[in-house]
Amino acid sequence: MSEAIKNRYDFVVLFDVENGNPNGDPDNGNAPRVDLDTGHGIVTDVCLKRKIRNYVETVKENEAGYQIYIKEGVPLNAKDAQAFAELSVDEKKIPALKKDDPSLDGKIRDFMCSRFFDIRTFGAVMTTFVKANLNCGQVRGPVQFGFAKSVDPIVPQSLTITRVAITTEKDAEKKKTEMGRKEIVPYGLYRAEGYVSANLARKVTGFSEADLELLWEAILNMFEHDRSAARGKMAVRELIIFKHDSELGNASAHKLFDSVVVKRKDSEMQPRCYGDYEVEIQEEKIPEGVTCIRKN
């Protein structure tokens, strides 16, 4: 494994959606997620992580060290079993093996982190190891996201759609079209905030500089290979990175986030594109020991 990163990072991601549903709520007819008190749109952290996983899987194509642990259609315990097989560990004899080799937990954890990019990045709960009484079953990753929230309240729309293809022959005798609905946000600019812990990278997963560059690339391009009619036009507009000069950081994350101000150019007009906003970095709020990097 490459050497772990040595600097802490905090970051802000600005992305938008046009005539699409960025993250449907299955408990609400798959309508766009909304904070019921404020009307602001919400996109969950797991939704954003899924996009990043998909991008890495697409560009790396199972390259060694960049496999994805959490993916559709592959049971997790099958991947956990790879560690047992390659390290010649008999799952039924783990208590005895741990007595002979106290470092067994660390070996299994390091194997999983070295093989799977998303474990190295986000961490994971590996149930097979938890049930086997191994201390490596829960890995805390150095990269964490909060929920994304729209800069302004959104007004979701439910549109009626029709199709001429009828599902059954019986229905075709009665009608020529079928009705459906499509849930969209006409326009919304969303802001997500995240954290990269060099301390956890060094102590736990070995998240490296190469991993970090791939993470930034994946964030900037996470919608480029994830197109669908349901999601409309989605794009990452800007990635604002705060690099600390030290492993533990030189400023509080919330103070750095406060230095990023996003506001409408015309407060009277309903925003319908990214150009309706301006993004300001209040550099006087950024202390010594922290460098601001803007990517788009």
The full DSSP string for 24-42 is EEGGGTTEEPB-TTT-EEE
- Mean pLDDT for 89-117 is 90
| Residue 97 predicted with pLDDT over 80 | yes
Beta strands in the chain (DSSP E): 9-20, 24-25, 31-32, 40-43, 123-125, 138-140, 143-145, 148-153, 157-163, 178-196, 233-244, 260-264, 277-281, 290-295
Q: Indicate the average pLDDT of the chain.
A: 93
* Residue bearing the bigger pLDDT, 295 or 129: 295
Q: What is the pLDDT of residue 181?
A: 84
CA dihedral 108, 114, 117, 119 (to 10 degrees): 20
Mean pLDDT check: name the lowest of 102-106, 115-119, 127-131, 155-159.
127-131
The CA–CA distances, whole Å, from 39 to 155, 258, 287 equal: 8, 21, 34
3-state secondary structure of 116: strand
3-state secondary structure of 212: helix
- Tell me the residue type at 255: K
Reported as a single tens digit per residue, the pLDDT across 53-81 is 999 999 999 899 999 999 988 888 888 88
Reported as a single tens digit per residue, the pLDDT across 194-240 is 999 999 999 999 999 999 999 999 999 999 999 998 898 999 999 99
Q: What is the pLDDT of residue 22?
A: 96
Mean pLDDT check: name the lowest of 70-74, 184-188, 272-276, 286-290.
70-74
Instruction: Assess contact for 145 and 242: CB atoms under 8 A.
Output: no
Report which of 47, 40, 49 is spatially closest to residue 24, judged by C-alpha positions.
47
| Residue 75 backbone dihedrals phi, psi, to 5 degrees | -60, 140
Reported as a single tens digit per residue, the pLDDT across 143-178 is 999 999 999 999 999 998 888 888 888 888 788 888
* Residue bearing the bigger pLDDT, 122 or 179: 122
Q: What is the pLDDT of residue 1?
A: 59
- Mean pLDDT for 243-251 is 98
- Mean pLDDT for 35-58 is 97
Largest CA distance in the chain: 74
- Mean pLDDT for 257-283 is 96
- pTM of the prediction? 0.92
| Residue 251 predicted with pLDDT over 90 | yes
